[in-house]
């Protein structure tokens, strides 16, 4: 990995990464899942859930990227995940145990049918 | 099966008016069915939208429309106009309420901007979110004082509890002359129930690293230290990963981004003593000495780690820095109240529906936090108080529900901002016991250096214990007050100076409860076991023996089919009998 030598370099790097993300968001069949993996999430089983999702999506031939992320703030509903279907707004699901994870794959990801446990995002973030 | 195309979300879950929401949801489903749309439109109950005051809420997912205050008779119109014809029902739109326009969502994430958004172990995702851009700008400006001026102008105050202006602290440290200076990040986070700093380090470690480097450049330090409690293994792991990545890209190390500026960060582990969060104790602990506070001045900014000027800031304080540099001091200063700018992260806990991590603009009211973001009190109970500021803070009551929350208002209300613990209490909480709980904590955590703190807090605890056992007198209440003031006035560090606050604040706000405990020997919340009796009403008791069979200490006697009796000398007040009695014959007196 080469070091970033100037602000210009860094700006280029940012653009590169941004466009990668945009590409990912625009790809027509990629499902994106973020698993909240802070201490609270992991304590409620987020690690197992993440492995389960990676394995099962693969087995069921669904093209997806599953990544970890920090605390989304919904401690009362851990484990929580955010699912973004192609060209759709992200949806946050709470109380996702393995059974619920399976249901989310079968119903929401495959058939666009929502399942219980949706948490409306109740915060705004600064514009980036 | 046809693929579902549209979704309607109705707020529900355990919060607020669950019943009303159920009616809305089932009526909506019915309407959809009547229109023959049930194959393609799905109605779904969801968790809380954080807009409870405006409920019930219906959200049309595909075009992100939120309807508020929806009544059953509105549903037909929503379905016909919006779902079928594609025209929004303007009179019910969230935006139609002018008060809500600005803050349709009560929370604003600045410090937590990347938490739950990026992968904390992937520096590339941080780059995509302006990562290290602020550091780049600061280095390019070649003007440390300019950076300090930006932070000063932003009005940022320390988030570790004291609320000292951050820019001013940087300026003082920058003006101290020395061959070496240090930037220290305080990640000790010792308040019971607090996990704001942990969440930031676990969710966005790079923002803290970037900010420490910025601080280093501003004050003229080349070394950074993070003092973090060893009980935070995941935060430590992620921080280490991030530091390594940052070094690889050259944001830590020598000649950062070709500027000639050197900076690197090391971790120091704390053993989890609350007092080590106090900055002088923290510094001694890092030096390998006992974690005991020492007198200020000299302040760390003049003489700190190894006797060198040291700038200590809290994790959340740092997390705000890159945003302020990137978006400007004016942008930041426009958020919040006159003297408290920006946002504050709180760990919302206790008897509240939506326990969690929240970030709100300064100036928000407790009412908004509890009833909107928090989704109200659990099980529909009555709100009693909120404890802020942890063991150094106090409680706020119903009269404070509409006070805008900022550093100064909280102090005026007899509490303090603290680092962000916010524990909600309901009618079942006994305020004397709460004060006792916090004193128990401080007695454990006092370093023992000063007599008033070491012995005085213990005495406070004992008096509180005596009151909860029903042996307190009116004189004891006077003693509590006097002793509290002595401890506050004569202790060396912030721990002792604030430890009596929970006592003083409950005395002030819940005097009646103290009086009841000492005069009529009653605890209205039925928490003080010594002050309550389980009794069996002979009129109601049918002699089923269920209670006697379940009593763990055989305190209940009585013949089958005859009224039973509890022997108060044996009873340990576990409540098992009351739970088991099907005839409501047992009650608490
Ligand atoms: C008993 C005691 C405990 C403290 N614990 C912490 C802590 O856990 N985290 C923290 O950042 N500050 C804590 N502080 C405040 C620090 O002494 C110091 O003021 C703070 O780290 C400065 O950073 P800031 O200006 O960014 O808030 C504590 C203070 C006292 C008196
Ligand atoms: S006030 Fe208490 S914690 Fe602080 S130095 Fe004195 S004894 Fe130690
Ligand atoms: S409260 Fe517990 S100990 Fe007391 S009588 Fe009932 S069951 Fe027995």
A87 touches chain B (CB under 8 A): no
For residue range B499-528, list pLDDT tens digits in order.
999 999 999 999 999 999 999 999 999 999
CA of B554 to the centre of ligand 3 (A): 8
B120 vs A71: CB contact, 8 Å cut-off? no
* Ligand 3 center–CA B463 separation, angstroms: 27
Best CA proximity match to B178, nearest among B142, B221, B224, B218: B221
User: Is pLDDT at B101 greater than 50 in this prediction?
Assistant: no
Q: What is the pLDDT of residues B282-341, one digit of tens each?
A: 999 999 999 999 999 999 999 999 999 999 999 999 999 999 999 999 999 999 999 999
Q: Whose atoms come closest to the Cα of B533: which ligand? A: 3
Tell me the CATH number of domain B343-426, given options 3.20.20.100, 3.40.50.10860, 3.40.50.150, 3.10.20.600: 3.10.20.600
Distance CA B390, CA B416 (A): 9
| Cβ pair A111:B1 closer than 8 A | yes
Looking at residue B16, what is its pLDDT?
A: 56
**Residue B52 in tokens:** 């409870």
Q: Are A44 and B356 in contact (CB under 8 A)?
A: no
Chain B residues with beta carbon closer than 8 angstroms to that of A38: 115, 198-199, 202-203, 234
Q: Is residue A2 part of a domain?
A: no
CA distance between the termini of chain B:
61
Segment B249-276, tens digit of pLDDT: 999 999 999 999 999 999 999 998 999 9
Rounded Cα gap, residues B44 and A115, in angstroms: 8
- The alpha carbon dihedral of B298, B300, B301, B303 has a sign of positive
> Looking at domain B6-96, what is its CATH homologous superfamily?
Glutaredoxin (3.40.30.10)
Position B100 pLDDT exceeds 50: no
Confidence of residue B103 (pLDDT cuts 50, 70, 90): very low
Task: Report cis status (omega within 30 of 0) of the bond before B298.
Answer: yes
Written as six digits, the tokens of B65 are: 């429309």
Domain of A89?
A: 29-119
Chain B residue numbers with beta carbons less than 8 Å from the beta carbon of A14 are 127-128, 130-131, 133
Structural domain contains residue A75:
yes
The answer to whether B5 contacts A112, with C-beta atoms less than 8 Å apart, is yes
Q: Is residue A38 part of a domain?
A: yes
Beta bridge partners of A82: A34, A92
Question: What spatial distance separates the first Cα and last Cα of chain A, rounded to whole Å?
Answer: 26
Residue B35: what are its φ and ψ, rounded to 5°?
-85, 0
Q: Is B566 in the pocket of ligand 3 (CB under 6 A)?
A: yes
- Per DSSP, the three-state class of B386 is strand
- Can you give the residue ranges of every domain in chain B? 6-96, 123-333, 343-426, 431-520, 533-588
Find out whether the beta carbon of B532 lies less than 6 Å from any atom of ligand 3. Answer: no
> pTM, whole model, 2 decimals?
0.90
Return the minimum-mean-pLDDT range out of B140-144, B190-194, B539-543: B190-194
Q: Is B571 touching ligand 3 by the criterion CB < 6 Å?
A: yes
Token representation of residue A37: 């993996």
| Cα angle value A13/A17/A18 (rounded, 5°) | 115
B439 burial type by CB count under 10 A (0-12 exposed, 13-18 middle, 19+ buried): buried
Distance from CA of B405 to the nearest CA of A (A): 18
Mean pLDDT of B406-431: 93
pLDDT digits (tens, 9 = 90+) for B170-203: 999 999 999 999 999 999 998 888 899 999 999 9
Distance B183 CA to ligand 2 centre (A): 25
Q: Which CATH architecture has domain B431-520?
A: Up-down Bundle (1.20)
Are the CB atoms for A62 and A106 separated by under 8 Å? no
Q: Cβ of B107 and A17 within 8 Å?
A: no
H or E segment to which residue A51 belongs: helix A46-59
Q: How many domains does chain A have?
A: 1
Ligand 2: distance of its center to the CA of B449 in Å? 5
Q: Note the pLDDT of residue B2.
A: 53
Task: Measure the CA–CA gap between B228 and B542, rounded to whole angstroms.
Answer: 60
Q: What are the residues facing B394 on neighbouring strands? A: B388
CA neighbor of A12 nearest in space, from B353, B128, B283: B128
Half-sphere exposure of B87 (CA within 13 A, CB side): 7
Compute how many other C-beta atoms are within 10 angstroms of the C-beta atom of residue B53. Answer: 15
Q: How far is the CA of A125 from the centre of ligand 3 (A)?
A: 52
Q: For B469-510, where are the alpha helices, taking DSSP H only?
A: 474-490, 494-498, 501-509
Structure tokens at B308: 């060198």
Q: Which fold has domain B123-333?
A: Rossmann fold (3.40.50)
Q: How confident is the model over A13-67, as pLDDT tens digits? A: 999 999 888 887 777 789 999 999 999 899 999 999 999 999 999 999 999 999 9
Task: Report CA-CA distances (Å) from A124 to B50, B54, B190.
Answer: 12, 18, 28
Percentage of chain A with pLDDT > 70?
A: 98
DSSP assignment, residue B276?
A: G
In a domain, A13, yes or no: no
Q: Whose CA is nearest to atom 31 of ligand 1?
A: B494
Question: In the predicted model, is pLDDT for residue B359 greater than 90?
Answer: yes
Helix axes B457-468, B511-518, angle to 10 degrees: 60
Size of interface A-B (CB pairs under 8 A): 185
Of B119, B235, B257, nearest to A6 by CB-CB distance is: B257
Tokens of B186: 């305080």
Query: How far apart, in whole angstroms, are the C-alpha atoms of residue A76 and residue B356?
Result: 6
User: Residue B547 in contact with residue B584, Cβ under 8 Å?
Assistant: no
Q: Flag if B3 and A68 touch (Cβ within 8 Å).
A: no
Mean pLDDT of chain B: 92
Q: Do B257 and A10 touch (CB under 8 A)?
A: yes
* pLDDT higher than 50, residue B1: no
């Amino acid at each position: 990995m080469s070091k970033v030598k100037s602000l210009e370099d860094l700006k280029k790097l940012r653009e590169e990464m941004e466009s990668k993300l945009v590409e990912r968001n625009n790809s027509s069949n990629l499902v994106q899942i973020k698993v909240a993996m802070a201490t609270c999430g992991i304590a409620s089983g987020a690690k197992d859930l993440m492995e389960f999702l990676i394995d099962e999506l693969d087995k069921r031939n669904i093209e997806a990227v599953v990544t970890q992320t920090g605390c989304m703030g919904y401690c009362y509903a851990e484990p929580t995940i955010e699912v973004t279907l192609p060209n759709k707004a992200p949806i946050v699901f709470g109380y996702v145990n393995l059974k619920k994870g399976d249901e989310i794959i079968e119903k929401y990801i495959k058939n666009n049918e929502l399942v219980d446990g949706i948490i409306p995002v109740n915060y705004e973030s600064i514009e980036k | 099966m046809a693929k579902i195309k549209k979704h309607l979300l109705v707020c529900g879950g355990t919060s607020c008016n669950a019943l009303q929401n159920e009616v809305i949801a089932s009526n909506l489903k019915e309407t959809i069915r009547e229109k023959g749309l049930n194959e393609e439109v799905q109605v779904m109950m969801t968790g809380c939208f954080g807009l409870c005051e405006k409920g019930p809420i219906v959200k049309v997912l595909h075009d992100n429309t939120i309807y508020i205050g929806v009544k059953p008779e509105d549903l037909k119109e929503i379905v016909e106009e919006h779902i079928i014809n594609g025209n929004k029902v303007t009179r019910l739109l969230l935006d139609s309420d002018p008060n809500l326009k600005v803050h349709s969502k009560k929370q604003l994430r600045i410090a937590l901007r990347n938490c739950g958004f990026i992968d904390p172990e992937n520096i590339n995702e941080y780059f995509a979110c302006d990562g290290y851009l602020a550091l780049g700008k600061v280095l390019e400006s070649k003007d440390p004082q300019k950076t300090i001026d930006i932070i000063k102008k932003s009005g940022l105050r320390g988030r570790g509890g004291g609320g000292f202006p951050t820019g001013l602290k940087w300026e003082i440290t920058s003006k101290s002359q020395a061959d070496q200076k240090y930037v220290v990040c305080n990640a000790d986070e010792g308040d019971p129930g607090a996990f704001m700093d942990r969440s930031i380090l676990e969710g966005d470690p790079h923002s803290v690293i970037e900010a420490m480097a910025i601080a280093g450049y501003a004050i003229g330090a080349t070394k950074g230290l993070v003092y973090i409690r060893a009980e935070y293994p995941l935060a430590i792991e992620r921080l280490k990963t991030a530091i390594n990545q940052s070094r690889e890209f050259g944001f830590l190390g020598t000649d950062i981004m070709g500027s000639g500026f050197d900076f690197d960060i090391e971790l120091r582990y704390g053993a989890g003593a609350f007092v080590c969060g106090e900055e002088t104790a923290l510094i001694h602990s890092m030096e390998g000495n006992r974690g005991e506070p020492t007198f200020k001045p000299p302040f760390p900014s003049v003489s700190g780690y190894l006797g060198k000027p040291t700038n200590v800031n809290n994790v959340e304080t740092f997390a705000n820095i890159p945003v302020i540099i990137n978006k400007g001091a004016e942008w930041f200063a426009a958020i919040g109240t006159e003297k408290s700018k920006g946002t504050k992260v709180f760990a919302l806990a206790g008897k509240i529906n939506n326990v969690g991590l929240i970030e709100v603009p300064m100036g928000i009211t407790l009412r908004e936090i509890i009833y909107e973001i928090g989704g109200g009190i659990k099980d529909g109970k009555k709100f009693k108080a909120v404890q802020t500021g942890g063991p150094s803070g106090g409680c706020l009551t119903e009269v404070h529900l509409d006070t805008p929350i900022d550093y100064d208002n909280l102090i005026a209300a007899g509490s303090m901002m603290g680092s962000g613990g916010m524990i909600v209490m309901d009618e079942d909480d006994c305020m004397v016991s709460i004060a006792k709980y916090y004193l128990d904590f401080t007695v454990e955590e006092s370093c023992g250096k000063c007599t008033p703190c070491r012995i005085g807090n213990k005495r406070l605890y004992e008096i509180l214990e005596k009151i909860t056992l029903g042996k307190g007198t009116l004189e004891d209440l006077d003693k509590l007050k006097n002793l509290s003031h002595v401890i506050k006035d004569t202790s060396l560090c912030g721990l002792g100076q604030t430890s009596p606050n929970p006592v003083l604040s409950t005395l002030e706000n819940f005097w009646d409860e103290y009086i009841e405990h000492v005069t009529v020997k009653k605890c209205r919340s039925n928490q003080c076991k010594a002050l309550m009796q389980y009794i069996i009403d002979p009129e109601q008791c049918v002699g089923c023996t269920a209670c006697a069979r379940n009593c763990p200490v055989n305190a209940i006697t009585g013949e089958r089919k005859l009224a039973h009796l509890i022997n108060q000398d044996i009873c340990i007040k576990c409540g098992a009998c009351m739970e088991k009695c099907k005839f409501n014959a047992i009650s608490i007196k």
